[in-house]
């Protein structure tokens, strides 16, 4: 047997050596094909390639390019080393080795398909550059030349030339369009649809750019929505903006929380924040201002730095540039305003010509229409204050109230055409329809329908009542009436301090007046006729009956049953018909201490007779004390007023004198005892 083996081996070696072109292994003795180094032929057997596990395959050290093995686990099949990695050749699951033909294929199902059966992505290239990549384990769809070339993140969809080509870890993005999201690296969950959209975005998140070059320069701005041709094109770091419309917010760079809706709305805004512009060219020139809301065709068109304005209506606030805190509501409202701030114009063309007037309130069609620089005016009503130009601090309420006023100031007109023809008159108050209709004077007060209607140039008048003073042409007059009469119920002349009652004045009338001009009558028999009271913390009240230019015998008299119970004379004397008493109940007192040494103190004071220096006082001789002397011994009895004048409470001397008499009597009693004792001796 051993000899046979050696013989066979010799024949085999001879056969191999003999074959000049290659080695042939067969059973029919044919030579190897000239094109083959090894030609194996059999009709019953095959060639067995080395069988390895995936781990064994990977463990092969420095595999040669073209090395072939058969993997027996995981994704089984033939693998060859392509110079850089192991690549599958075919398997039972992949169908025949003929591959996917360019002339059409059949059976494209779960058995025959283009793709991979491992975690490696399906990649397509042109000229060595990636044109698509479909990932499985890390979901991503990348279609377009170099689209998502550096992508390492999941859930991205990039369509277009170099769309998202720089993206590394940013996930959840959708970039569709030429260079869309070109330099995005870590920005996530962005939606860019359109050529060049978000092409400068690097780290910005949660943005939505739709339209050619929309958000083209955005780098780190986040949570923006730009919808329209070049909308938000220059935005870089601005965030939470909403731009909708061609060129809307085109110049915005870092402005945030803006809402621009309409063709070129907010077109020049760069760093302005928290603005809302809605309408064709609305807020077009706004650049740095914040907190504005412009709604309507070209509303706030010229605004640059004015802040916190609200313009609603076509052309509302059109010319406003730097003014702030204005409210213009109505077509053309505040159209000419440039720098006037703090205004509220409501109504079509209200405050139309206002340029720099401030703090005005105009409400009504054409109200304050001509105002240019007047400030702190209030006009309410259609065409109220329509002609006012420079007048300030006016209050006009009612249809065409103060219609012709131009420069008049500090006027208050309330009512239909109240103060209608006033032009320059100031500090007037006209209340009522047609009140002060023709007046152009100053400091008048007209209250009532047509009050002061025909008074033209009069000033300082007070007309109260329907048609009161309507035919009075003068000044400084008082009319209280309900008709056009020249003899009103109450008439006055302020210049001469004259007052006339064209009637009888009574309070609580009980009978036909036949007595004094003024009667005060108490009818309820319980409250009294006249009462004088202080406020809760009052300290002074006075009732004066003066004799100057009247009579020397001026007096206040209290009568009952025809008897003068109390008379207070102008000279200072008083007559009392009854008894004068003072409260002295012990229940009202505290800190009660008996008087001491009253006799000694009384001996230190003197009584005098005297006359008053004042000629209006009682001219008869008087008896009394000197207040300054009395004050030294009994300060409780002397009061000093605010002018230093001293007065004496004479009635309060009574208890002092009583006590002094008691002390004196005690001394007398002691002396009497001593005398009696001496008599006994």
Q: Is residue 339 part of a domain?
A: no
> Is pLDDT of 151 > 50?
yes
Question: What DSSP designation does 652 have?
Answer: G
User: Burial of 206 by CB count in 10 Å (0-12 exposed, 13-18 middle, 19+ buried)?
Assistant: middle
pLDDT digits (tens, 9 = 90+) for 196-235: 988 898 899 999 999 999 989 988 899 999 999 999 999 9
Please list the residues that pair with 122 across neighbouring strands: 134
467: left (phi over 0), alpha (psi -120 to 50) or beta: left
* DSSP string for residues in 344-399: EEESTTTTTT-SS--S-EEESTTTTTT-SS--S-EEESTTTTTT-SS--S-EEEST
Out of 436-440, 446-450, 503-507, 586-590, least confident range: 503-507
> Is pLDDT of 632 > 50?
yes
Q: Which residue has the higher pLDDT, 537 or 86?
A: 86
User: Burial of 289 by CB count in 10 Å (0-12 exposed, 13-18 middle, 19+ buried)?
Assistant: buried
What SS3 class is residue 90? strand
Residue with token string 């209200």:
350
The most confident of 41-45, 70-74, 462-466, by mean pLDDT? 462-466
Same domain, 611 and 656: yes
Distance in angstroms (rounded) separating the CA atoms of residues 519 and 513: 9
Kind of pairing between the strands at 68-71 and 77-81: antiparallel
What pLDDT, on a 0 to 100 scale, did the predictor assign at position 532? 55
What pLDDT, on a 0 to 100 scale, did the predictor assign at position 575? 77
pLDDT digits (tens, 9 = 90+) for 158-187: 999 998 888 889 899 999 999 998 998 899
Distance in angstroms (rounded) separating the CA atoms of residues 494 and 501: 15
Kind of pairing between the strands at 86-90 and 122-126: unpaired
What pLDDT, on a 0 to 100 scale, did the predictor assign at position 502? 85
Distance in angstroms (rounded) separating the CA atoms of residues 360 and 375: 6
In terms of C-beta distances under 8 Å and separation of at least 24 residues, what long-range contacts does 22-25 make, across chains too? none
Out of 125-129, 204-208, 492-496, least confident range: 125-129
Count Cβ atoms below 10 Å from residue 338 Cβ, excluding itself. 17
The most confident of 25-29, 56-60, 90-94, 120-124, by mean pLDDT? 56-60
Mean pLDDT, range 53-60, rounded to an integer: 93
What pLDDT, on a 0 to 100 scale, did the predictor assign at position 525? 55
Residue 496 makes CB contacts below 8 A (sequence gap 6+) with: none
Quote the domain boundaries for residue 567. Answer: 527-576
What pLDDT, on a 0 to 100 scale, did the predictor assign at position 89? 82
Count how many residues are written for the chain. Answer: 681
- Phi, psi (5° rounding) for residue 144? 135, 155
Q: Is residue 359 part of a domain?
A: no
Question: What DSSP designation does 495 have?
Answer: T
Reading the block at residue 592, the tokens are 């009660």
Reading the block at residue 69, the tokens are 């093995």
Q: Is residue 49 part of a domain?
A: yes
What pLDDT, on a 0 to 100 scale, did the predictor assign at position 469? 95
Distance in angstroms (rounded) separating the CA atoms of residues 147 and 213: 18
Are the beta carbons of 627 and 648 closer than 8 angstroms?
Answer: yes
Distance in angstroms (rounded) separating the CA atoms of residues 337 and 368: 12
Are the beta carbons of 300 and 283 closer than 8 angstroms?
Answer: yes
Same domain, 662 and 619: yes
What SS3 class is residue 548? coil
Among 88, 105, 124, which residue terminates a domain?
88
Mean pLDDT, range 533-545, rounded to an integer: 51
Q: CA Rg, the chain, in Å?
A: 57
> Is pLDDT of 598 > 90?
no
Q: Is residue 147 part of a domain?
A: no
Q: Is residue 558 part of a domain?
A: yes
Q: How far is CA 133 from CA 89, 146, 163, 333, in A?
A: 20, 10, 13, 58
> Which residue from 353, 422, 366 is spatially nearest to 394, judged by alpha carbons?
422
Q: Is the pTM of this model over 0.85?
A: no
**Percent of the residues in the chain that have a pLDDT greater than 70, as a whole number:** 83
Distance in angstroms (rounded) separating the CA atoms of residues 263 and 283: 11
Buried b (16+ CB within 10 A) or exposed e, 356-368: ebbbbbbbbbbbb
> Is pLDDT of 19 > 60?
no
Mean pLDDT, range 533-550, rounded to an integer: 48
> Is pLDDT of 15 > 50?
no
Same domain, 657 and 605: yes
Confidence class for position 260, pLDDT limits 50, 70, 90: very high
> Is pLDDT of 383 > 60?
yes
> Is pLDDT of 537 > 70?
no
Among 32, 67, 88, which residue terminates a domain?
88
Mean pLDDT of the chain: 85
Residue 478 makes CB contacts below 8 A (sequence gap 6+) with: 461, 462, 463, 490, 491, 492, 493, 494, 499
Same domain, 571 and 609: no
> Is pLDDT of 94 > 50?
no
What pLDDT, on a 0 to 100 scale, did the predictor assign at position 563? 72
> Is pLDDT of 482 > 80?
yes
- For 10, the enclosing helix (H) or strand (E) is helix 2-18
Mean pLDDT, range 645-668, rounded to an integer: 90
> Which residue from 387, 352, 347 is spatially nearest to 396, judged by alpha carbons?
387
> Is pLDDT of 507 > 80?
no
Residue with token string 């009319």:
479
Mean pLDDT, range 646-673, rounded to an integer: 90
Distance in angstroms (rounded) separating the CA atoms of residues 280 and 262: 5
Q: Is residue 262 part of a domain?
A: no
Are the beta carbons of 149 and 133 closer than 8 angstroms?
Answer: no
Residue 625 makes CB contacts below 8 A (sequence gap 6+) with: 605, 606, 607, 608, 648, 650
Are the beta carbons of 305 and 287 closer than 8 angstroms?
Answer: yes
Q: Is residue 565 part of a domain?
A: yes
Confidence class for position 20, pLDDT limits 50, 70, 90: low
> Is pLDDT of 481 > 50?
yes
Q: Which residue has the higher pLDDT, 548 or 232?
A: 232
What pLDDT, on a 0 to 100 scale, did the predictor assign at position 248? 93
> Is pLDDT of 642 > 50?
yes
Distance in angstroms (rounded) separating the CA atoms of residues 175 and 189: 10
622: left (phi over 0), alpha (psi -120 to 50) or beta: beta
Q: Is residue 293 part of a domain?
A: no
Are the beta carbons of 636 and 651 closer than 8 angstroms?
Answer: no
Please list the residues that pair with 563 across neighbouring strands: 560
What pLDDT, on a 0 to 100 scale, did the predictor assign at position 132? 73
Q: Which residue has the higher pLDDT, 72 or 128?
A: 72
Helix, strand, coil percentages in the chain from 3-state DSSP, rounded to 5: 10, 20, 70
Same domain, 631 and 571: no
Number of structural domains the chain divides into: 3
Mean pLDDT, range 251-277, rounded to an integer: 92
Kind of pairing between the strands at 429-431 and 412-414: parallel
What pLDDT, on a 0 to 100 scale, did the predictor assign at position 329? 97
Distance in angstroms (rounded) separating the CA atoms of residues 185 and 168: 5
Confidence class for position 96, pLDDT limits 50, 70, 90: very low
Same domain, 41 and 73: yes
Confidence class for position 153, pLDDT limits 50, 70, 90: confident
pLDDT digits (tens, 9 = 90+) for 271-328: 999 999 999 999 999 989 999 999 999 999 999 999 999 999 999 999 999 999 999 9
What SS3 class is residue 332? coil
Same domain, 603 and 660: yes
> Which residue from 271, 272, 273 is spatially nearest to 253, judged by alpha carbons?
271
**Cα–Cα–Cα angle for 251, 256, 258, rounded to 5 degrees:** 75
Please list the residues that pair with 193 across neighbouring strands: 176, 210
Same domain, 605 and 662: yes
């Amino acid at each position: 047997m051993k000899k046979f083996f050696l013989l066979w081996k010799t024949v085999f070696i001879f056969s191999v050596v003999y074959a000049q072109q290659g080695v042939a292994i067969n059973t029919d003795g044919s030579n190897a094909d000239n094109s083959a180094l090894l030609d194996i032929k059999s009709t019953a057997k095959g060639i067995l390639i080395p069988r390895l596990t995936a781990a064994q395959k990977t463990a092969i050290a420095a595999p040669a390019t073209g090395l072939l093995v058969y993997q027996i686990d995981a994704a089984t099949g033939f693998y060859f080393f392509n110079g850089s990695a192991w690549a599958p050749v075919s398997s039972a699951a992949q169908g025949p080795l003929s591959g996917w033909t360019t002339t059409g294929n059949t059976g494209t199902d779960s058995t025959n398909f283009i793709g991979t059966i491992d975690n490696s992505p399906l990649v397509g290239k042109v000229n060595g550059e990636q044109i698509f990549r479909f990932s499985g384990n890390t979901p991503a769809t990348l279609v377009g030349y170099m689209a998502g070339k550096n992508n390492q993140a999941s859930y991205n969809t990039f369509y277009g030339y170099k769309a998202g080509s720089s993206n590394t870890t940013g996930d959840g993005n959708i970039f569709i369009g030429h260079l869309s999201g070109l330099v995005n690296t870590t920005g996530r969950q962005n939606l860019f649809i359109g050529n060049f959209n978000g092409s400068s975005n690097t780290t910005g998140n949660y943005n939505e750019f739709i339209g050619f070059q929309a958000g083209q320069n955005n780098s780190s701005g986040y949570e923006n929505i730009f919808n329209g041709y070049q909308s938000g094109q220059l935005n870089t770091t601005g965030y939470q903006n909403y731009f909708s419309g061609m060129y809307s917010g085109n110049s915005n760079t870092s402005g945030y929380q803006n809402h621009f809706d309409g063709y070129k709305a907010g077109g020049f805004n760069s760093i302005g924040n928290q603005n809302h512009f809605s309408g064709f060219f609305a807020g077009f020139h706004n650049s740095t201002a914040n907190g504005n809301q412009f709604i309507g065709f070209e509303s706030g068109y010229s605004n640059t730095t004015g802040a916190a304005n609200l313009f609603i209506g076509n052309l509302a606030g059109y010319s406003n540039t730097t003014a702030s805190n204005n409210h213009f509501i109505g077509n053309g409202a505040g159209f000419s305003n440039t720098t006037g701030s703090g205004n509220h114009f409501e109504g079509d063309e209200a405050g139309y010509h206002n340029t720099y007037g401030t703090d005005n309130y105009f409400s009504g069609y054409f109200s304050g229409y001509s105002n240019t620089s007047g400030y702190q005016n209030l006009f309410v009503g259609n065409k109220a204050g329509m002609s006012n130009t420079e007048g300030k601090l006016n209050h006009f309420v009612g249809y065409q109230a103060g219609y012709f006023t131009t420069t008049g100031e500090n006027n208050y007109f309330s009512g239909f055409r109240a103060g209608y023809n006033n032009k320059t008159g100031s500090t007037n108050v006209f209340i009522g329809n047609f009140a002060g209709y023709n007046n152009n004077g100053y400091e008048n007060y007209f209250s009532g329908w047509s009050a002061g209607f025909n008074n033209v140039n009069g000033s300082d008048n007070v007309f109260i009542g329907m048609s009161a003073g309507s035919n009075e042409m003068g000044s400084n007059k008082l009319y209280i009436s309900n008709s056009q009469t020249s003899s009103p119920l109450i008439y006055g002349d302020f210049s001469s301090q004259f007052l006339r009652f064209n009637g009888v004045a009574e309070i609580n009338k009980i009978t036909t007046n036949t007595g004094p001009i003024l009667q005060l009558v108490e009818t309820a028999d319980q409250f009294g006729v006249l009462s004088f009271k202080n406020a809760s913390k009052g300290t002074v009240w006075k009732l004066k009956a003066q004799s100057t230019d009247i009579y020397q015998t001026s007096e206040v008299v209290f009568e009952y049953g025809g008897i003068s119970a109390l008379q207070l004379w102008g000279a200072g004397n008083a007559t009392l018909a009854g008894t004068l008493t003072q409260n002295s109940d012990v229940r009202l007192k505290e800190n009660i201490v008996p008087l001491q040494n009253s006799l000694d103190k009384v001996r230190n004071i003197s009584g005098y007779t005297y006359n008053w220096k004042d000629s209006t006082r009682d001219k008869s001789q008087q008896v009394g004390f000197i207040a300054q002397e009395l004050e030294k011994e009994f300060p409780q009895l002397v009061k000093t007023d605010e002018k230093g004048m001293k007065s004496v409470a004479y009635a309060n001397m009574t208890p002092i004198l009583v006590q002094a008499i008691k002390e004196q009597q005690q001394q007398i009693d002691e002396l009497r005892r001593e005398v009696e004792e001496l008599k006994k001796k």
